[in-house]
Amino acid sequence: MSRFTTQLAAGLLLAPALLAASVVQAHQTGDAIVRVGVVAVDPQENSGNVIVGGANTGLEVGVDSNVQLGITGTYMLSDNLGIGILGATPFSHSINLNGVGKLADIKHLPPTVTLQYFPMAAGSTLQPYVGAGLNYTTFFSEDFTSANKAAGFSGLSLSDSWGLALEAGMDYKLSENMLLNASVWYVDIETEASFRLNGVKSKVDVEIDPMVYMVSLGYLF
């Protein structure tokens, strides 16, 4: 056997090992992933009727969508299980009184923690996952429009909410540390909006239950 043939055979034998060493390793025990991108909240609200002084007005409210800067994090407890966190800059929404028009503006933050399951092997470049966990939503900066204040609306306050969160997503490894992510959540958010109309105590119960969508770039530490 010639020297060239011997070297070629040795190279062929070594190739699989070298290839395996070069495969992007991802989502292993102890890894931490931070993702930053665009996140949209799309309420799928179900409103009760507006109650004014105990009287049912028959009117309902709606909540519009909003897009903000989002950040998520994952810490891998094992090669297949991780703890996920969802955060964002404050979301701003308009509350609309159906058949009447814009009623008020509000802001909220929806921090969410989930247990994530990654079914693929640690060395897979494509890493789909699903998760379930808990959401806490806090509302603030609740304010009626100027026209509605003039009409006698005042004292708007929305109760905070605890609820179930479900998610599905996918990481695609671009390099040793960079990845592309797309993810979606369903979040159970229920709140009671209380206010006064010409001094009369009033309220409306709303199930906001948004779908949350995010596209982001991530970095693996």
Sign of the C-alpha dihedral, residues 97, 193, 149, 138? negative
Residue with tokens 């109760």: 159
pLDDT at 12 over 50: no
Higher pLDDT, 51 or 14: 51
pLDDT at 2 over 70: no
- pLDDT of the residue at 18: 42
Residues, the chain: 221
Q: Hey, what are 124's tokens? A: 């897979």
Higher pLDDT, 122 or 83: 83
CA 29, CA 98: separation in Å to the nearest integer? 50
Mean of pLDDT values over 197-217: 95
CATH number assigned to the domain with residue range 26-220, chosen from the 4 options 3.30.70.260, 2.40.160.20, 2.40.110.10, 3.30.9.10: 2.40.160.20
- Enumerate the domain spans of the chain: 26-220
Confidence of residue 4 (pLDDT cuts 50, 70, 90): very low
How many Cβ atoms are within 10 Å of 185's Cβ, its own excluded? 25
CA 189, CA 160: separation in Å to the nearest integer? 9
Q: Hey, what are 96's tokens? A: 């609309």
Sign of the C-alpha dihedral, residues 159, 160, 162, 165? positive
Confidence of residue 1 (pLDDT cuts 50, 70, 90): low
**18-32, 55-69, 73-87, range with the lowest pLDDT:** 18-32
Confidence of residue 26 (pLDDT cuts 50, 70, 90): low
Mean of pLDDT values over 189-196: 95
pLDDT at 140 over 70: yes
Give the Cα-Cα-Cα angle 81, 87, 89 (nearest 5 degrees). Answer: 165
- pLDDT of the residue at 124: 86
* pTM as predicted: 0.83
Tell me: the pLDDT tens digits for 64-76?
999 999 999 999 9
Whether 86 contacts 111, CB under 8 Å: yes
DSSP 49: -
